[in-house]
Each structure stands twice: as structure tokens, then as C-alpha cells.
Amino acid sequence: MSKLSPKTGPFDVNTKIIPQTEGIKYAGSKKKLIPQILTLAKKSGAKTVLDGFSGSTRVSQAFASSEYNVISSDKAIWSEVFGQCYLKAKKPKAYYEELIAHLNALPGRDGWFSEHYGGFAHNDHKNIQQKMPWQIHNTRKLDSIREEIDNLQISFNDKCVAITSLILAMDRVDSTIGHFSSYLREWSPRSYNNMTMKLPKIIEGTGNHSVIRGDIFDTIKNEDVDLAYFDPPYGSNNEKMPPSRVRYSSYYHVWTTICLNDKPNLFGKVNRRQDSRDNADPSVFEEYRKNPEGHFIAVEAIKRLITEASARYIMLSYSSGGRATAEELYEVMNDAGELVEVIEVDHKENVMASMVWTNDWLRDAQKPNREFIFLLKKR
């Protein structure tokens, strides 16, 4: 059985094709790998691309800027909102500027978000001991702006532009380590700043894009594309890791609430939404257990993804820290088609290398997790 191994040389990135993208802090965001993703995608000759786990939408934005027709899809509502904003907003810039200026000018006031997520910086207040993701002057702005967005008679797409701008503004003044399952003990320096909404960098161009919110297995049933890019949650191969380690709905529960503005029931120390509990709305890709046949559920899901996707080419991002071993991935790719290229990303040395599929992706406890991007031509 062959595995991954010796580097065949550096991976040549076409630096002429690096577009600007924008987004929140997001676990597993491929912001830094966009040049490599675009260079690999170009080799497929694709015109239509499915970004099947679009998350922050940075990759979707990069594809859209590069003249592909993009289908941006994820199960998370914030991803749909970002996708609508960056890929589908078509009104003149001046319209959105006026909308954002109106929202920025609103005075802050106490409301649901301040009650649950706003804290005080001075020790003369009862809330001083409680860790919170934002200082109260910013949640007060959030409260008045989010309410006004619902009061305005604007289209769904315009709302998505306003909510994206609002989420990015709140992301710039948070006091977290990048997600909302714990908050910093001391206020971060940026949390003292005043949140200010800015015009999102909406993608210009003539591409025909669509945005879907839903489970990937429903999306691939209905979409036929030249290239499908899959960046699923990696799960973890650490047996001791609890199932909640990277669960997107629990990491970013507050973004869900800002999108929905539904004042949900909350639980726990960090005031998570009830529907972000570990046993609610699970993703098979985040599953760490085996099925009754003794196979990892997350690995079976990746196999199913590659087999069922209706695409000439598939690009898969995966980490050596994930559930699937090299052998398992090799087997499924070999069954599904021909592996055109694999690149390994070494974040520490900041290098990318092309690889040949020979013998060696094993879990090496000494080595940090390595990330790979596979380009597969389907049979």
C-alpha cells in the first residue's frame, strides 16, 4: 500500500492571481492558502466551482474574483449571510454606504445582546468579575443597530450586507481567543475601541454565483460542477478529545444569534444558544466515533462526499491530524479517480511542496499536524 511521501519540489504559485478577501476570525479558514487553491484549481480548467464548506467565504470570494461561477455552500447561517453579501450584492456602492452610515450613526442602548454579552471595564460595576466577549459600549451599539436592520424595509440581500458589516465590526473589537466558547480573563486591547461598520469588499465581476445554506450531502445531490472544493471539519484523531473540540455551531453561536436576532434560550458560562449544545445539530464530519462496522464515521463521510459529488475534479483540504489516515484517503481517491497533484503545507516553514503519492503520511507524534490539498480527477 502506498502512502504520501518525498517532496518532489516546491509548489509553484501563480502570484498574479491572488485576490483580496475579507472575513471574520475563523477556525480552519483557508485565507493563507488561497494562492495555492487557485493555482491548483486553474489546472482543472474549471469554469464552475462548488465551495462546499464555505465557512468564512474567503475561498468563495477568491474564486468569484477569479472569474469562476461559484456555488458557495455551508450549513452555517453566517456563511450564507457572508456569501449573499460578497457574491450576490449588486446595488451601487453609494446605496450600501448610505445604509452603513445610517446604522453607524445610531446611539447605543441597552438590549438583549448587552444583557448577555456586554461587560464593564471599570471595577465599580457588578459585572466586573464576569468574562464577556465585548465591552458594553459595543454591545449597546450592536443592540440598536441589529434592531434597526430588522425595522428597515430592505431586501434580504441588503440585510445580509448590513449584517456582514455588523459582524465584521464586532469581530474587530472582541475579547476572545477567536471563538465564543471561552472569553479572555482580561479585556483585550481591541475591546476598548469603538465598533464601526465599514463597507464590505463586495466582489465585482460578471460571474453567475449562488449561495446555499444546507447540508453538503443535499447540496451535492442537486449541483453539477466542473470542480468541487471540499474543506470539511477535520475532526481529531486524538481519542481523549471530547466531541465538542471544534464544533462550528458552538464556536460561533453568537454570530448565529446576530444573523437570526431571535433572542434564544441560553445555557452555560459563556451563554451559548440551546441549539448549539453538543448533541444538537451534529455534523458527521465532526464526529469522533466509529460506526457499528468499526469504521470512523467522519472518514466514511469523506468517502461518501468524494464518491457522490457530481464534479469532474475534486479538491480536498485535509490535515494529518484528522480522523482519516493516508491509507484511507488513498484508497477512496484511487477508487474514485486519478490523483493529479497533492501539496503539503508546512505552516512553520511557510513552504508548500508538491508531493508524489508514495509512502509516508503517518501520524508522527513529533510532527505538528500537516495540511494537504489534493486535486483529484474523477473517473
Ligand X SMILES: C[S@@+](CC[C@H](N)C(=O)[O-])C[C@H]1O[C@@H](n2cnc3c(N)ncnc32)[C@H](O)[C@@H]1O
Kindly list the residues in this chain that would bind ligand X in the complex (CB under 6 A): 26, 28-30, 53-56, 58-59, 74-76, 79, 215-216, 231-233, 248, 283, 285
Nearest distance from residue 79's CB to ligand X, in Å? 6
Task: Measure Cα distances from 50 to 53, 186, 263, 271 in Å.
Answer: 9, 41, 33, 34
Q: Which is nearer to ligand X, 285 or 361 (CB)?
A: 285
**In Å, what is the CA distance from 168 to each residue of 41, 143, 275, 285, 333?**
28, 15, 23, 27, 38
The Cα–Cα gap between 188 and 181 comes to 16
* Least separation in angstroms between CB 340 and ligand X: 20
- Name the residue nearer to ligand X (CB basis): 147 or 171: 171
User: What is the number of H-type helices and E-type strands within the chain?
Assistant: 12, 13
**If we measure between CA atoms, which residue out of 139, 359, 155, 350 comes closest to residue 257?**
139
Distance CA 377, CA 81 (A): 31
Task: Report in angstroms how near the CB of residue 115 gets to ligand X at its nearest.
Answer: 27
| Residue number, 56 or 139, with CB nearest to ligand X | 56
CA atoms of 45 and 377, how far apart (whole Å): 11
Give 75 or 146: the residue with its C-beta nearer to ligand X.
75
Q: What is the DSSP string of 229-291?
A: EE--------TTS-TTTT-HHHHTHHHHHHHH-----EETTTTEEGGGSTTSS--GGG--SB-
User: Can you name the residues that pair with 135 across neighbouring β-strands?
Assistant: 119
Q: Phi/psi at 377 (nearest 5 deg)?
A: -95, 120
Asked if residues 227 and 38 have their Cβ atoms less than 8 Å apart, the reply is no
Give me the least distance between CB of 104 and ligand X, in Å please.
26
Pinpoint the alpha helices (H) of the chain: 34-44, 58-65, 77-83, 93-104, 112-117, 136-151, 156-171, 216-222, 248-251, 253-260, 297-308, 326-336
**Residue 169 or 315 with smaller CB distance to ligand X:** 315
Is the CB of 318 or the CB of 357 nearer to ligand X? Answer: 318
Residue nearer to ligand X on the CB measure, 143 or 344 = 344
Phi and psi dihedrals of 326, rounded to 5? -60, -40
**In the bound complex, what is the minimum distance in angstroms from residue 336's beta carbon to ligand X?**
19
Query: Please, what is the minimum distance in Å from the beta carbon of residue 54 to ligand X?
Result: 6
Residue 248 vs 357, nearer CB to ligand X? 248
- Least distance in angstroms from the C-beta of 30 to ligand X: 4
Number of other residues whose CB lies within 10 A of the CB of residue 205: 12
Q: Considering the complex, what minimum distance in angstroms separates the CB of residue 101 from ligand X?
A: 29
